[in-house]
């Protein structure tokens, strides 16, 4: 449990926040650590399901901006959780239409309610959505990236929401 908690704490403390569309791995050593952890270590659980270990590993790698390593894992997962990580990965690489495809396979998800509530605290205008809508979030990210506003006020808010989404999905994945 200690190994994964150290990685999570390091990723949570990142300054600046993970970019919407990273161009390089944030810390290659962290990726090595994640890949070397046993399934028990990566989830912090005894005898986790294969899906919990794979989803958590994929998510931690994605949080570290290691899109390729995360993708290699998430694309093999046919369950909802794999589609969710796969969708985030494609959104972060800037393949927005492909991200929408993977989110269409996710459907509704258990983290959406909490994600929507926390997102509305950051961007109150999202309340008009009525619920979390991944396609609309993808559109906001695409607009911010294409206008080079990733570091501007709206881009920073989107990065905050993305960090919340990843943290919530990591927590969910550890028990999948």
Q: What is the 3-class SS of the chain, one letter each residue?
A: CHHHHHHHHHHHCCCCCCCCCCCCCCCHHHHHHHHHCCHHHHHCCCCCCHHHHHHHHHHHHHHCCCHHHHHHHHCCCCCHHHHHHHHHHHHHHCCHHHHHHHHHHHCCCCCHHHHHHHHHHHCHHHHHHCCCCHHHHHHHHHHHHHCCCCCCHHHHHHHHHHHHHHHHHHHHHCCC
pLDDT digits (tens, 9 = 90+) for 47-67: 899 899 999 999 999 999 999
Q: What is the count of structural domains for the chain?
A: 1
Residue ranges in the chain modelled with pLDDT below 70: 1, 149-151
Domain of 81 in residue numbering reads as: 2-173
User: Is pTM beyond 0.85 here?
Assistant: yes
């Amino acid at each position: 449990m200690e190994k994964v908690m150290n990685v999570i704490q390091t990723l949570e403390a990142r300054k600046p926040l993970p970019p919407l569309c990273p161009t390089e791995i944030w810390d290659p050593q962290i990726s090595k650590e994640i890949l070397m952890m046993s399934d028990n270590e990566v989830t912090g659980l005894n005898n986790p399901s294969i899906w919990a270990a794979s989803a958590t590993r994929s998510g931690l790698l994605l949080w570290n901006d290691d899109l390729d390593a995360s993708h290699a894992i998430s694309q093999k997962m046919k369950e909802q959780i794999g589609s969710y990580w796969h969708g985030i990965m494609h959104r972060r690489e800037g393949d927005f239409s492909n991200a929408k495809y993977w989110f269409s396979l996710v459907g509704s998800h258990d983290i959406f309610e909490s994600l929507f509530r926390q997102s509305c605290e950051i961007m109150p205008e999202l309340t008009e959505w009525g619920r979390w809508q991944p396609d609309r979030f993808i559109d906001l990210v695409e607009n911010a990236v294409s206008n080079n506003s990733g570091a501007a006020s709206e881009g920073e808010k989107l990065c905050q929401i993305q960090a919340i989404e990843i943290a919530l999905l990591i927590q969910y994945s550890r028990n999948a």
